[in-house]
Amino acid sequence: MDIASSSSSSSSSSSFSLPKDVFLSFRGQDIRSNFVCHLSEALERRAVKVYLDNEDLKRGDDLSDLLNAIAEAKISIVIFSENYATSTWCLKELVKILECKAKQKQIVMPIFYRVDPSDIRKQTGSFAKAFAEYERDRKKDKKEVQSWRSALKEAANLAGCNSKNYEDDAKLIGDIVKEVLPHLHQATSTAWIFFLSNVGLEIASAMFDQFSSPSNKRHSALISMVLAILALFISIGELIHKGIKEGVEYRRQLGVFGWFYSRARNRIFGSFPDMCGLLGGISQCVYSTIQYVCIRRQVENPYRIFLWPMIFLLCLGASRLHWNQRNTTEKLKQ
């Protein structure tokens, strides 16, 4: 995307917009009206949310929204075309994409559209001309120009699709879509594994809590406590998994208070479902421990009816439904 043909669309640039599945980096004047348009439509037909700008950027506009969109995407597709390197914005995008690949393990898919990968790797042909202009421009930061060169070389060495190996764009687009979908399904499956495992253990723990009493031995209470501890560890494991992917760091505010922030999203780490899961896990763990101690001492637990597991499930279910509704609404707006 470039100065002449890229922008943060109203839905993408808003601070309330949802992250996209795929970010497309491309030189608008080369391929926006044909290849990119068809690729975007093909992905969206398979319910893949694509970051595709719809308005023209004005000179001096801030790139922060664009770079945040890159960090939030699960996959970045870099479409190299003849004039890709003539756009400093495209080159800045590429540097950010490779940074996310290194720090967040973001998936990067290069597409060589009617260009030779060796021209990108060695900066020859049209890429040599573009960098000759940058070298002559005294206003350009030499270190930044060198980072662009390094980024192009690194990206060109990644496995990707070359349009020269396809009879037409339709077959190339078909292969790209086939490559994208499994990666997105894998990420979704991991999230559901965490969710269902946590919910299952919480329900089982609550059930064993209700079955336990001083008269039916301590087995039920012990099993309940073990299940609650496992559920808590799963909640913590899910947060660690997300934290690694988003590059979480601890930041102090006013030199005293601090919290964990996501470098990828540039915001406070942890969503409402995350906090509900952790809170539910801690609460059920505490309650099941109290229940077990009371039974060992052969006294009645004063907190016999415990509602935290149900509150946890209701909050988590409501948040999931709300998230799905926002996804559906955004899809309709597109």
Give me the active site residues, please: 93
Residue type present at position 173: I
Q: Are 134 and 145 in contact, with CB atoms under 8 Å apart?
A: yes
Strand order in the sheet with 107-112: 50-51, 22-25, 75-80, 107-112, 161-162
**β strands within the chain, DSSP E:** 22-25, 50-51, 75-80, 107-112, 161-162, 248-253, 257-262, 267-268
Q: Are 150 and 92 in contact, with CB atoms under 8 Å apart?
A: no
CA distance 247 to 122: 32
Q: Which of 295, 120, 161 is nearest to 215 (CA)?
A: 295
Pairing state of beta strands 257-262 and 267-268? antiparallel
CA distance 301 to 282: 18
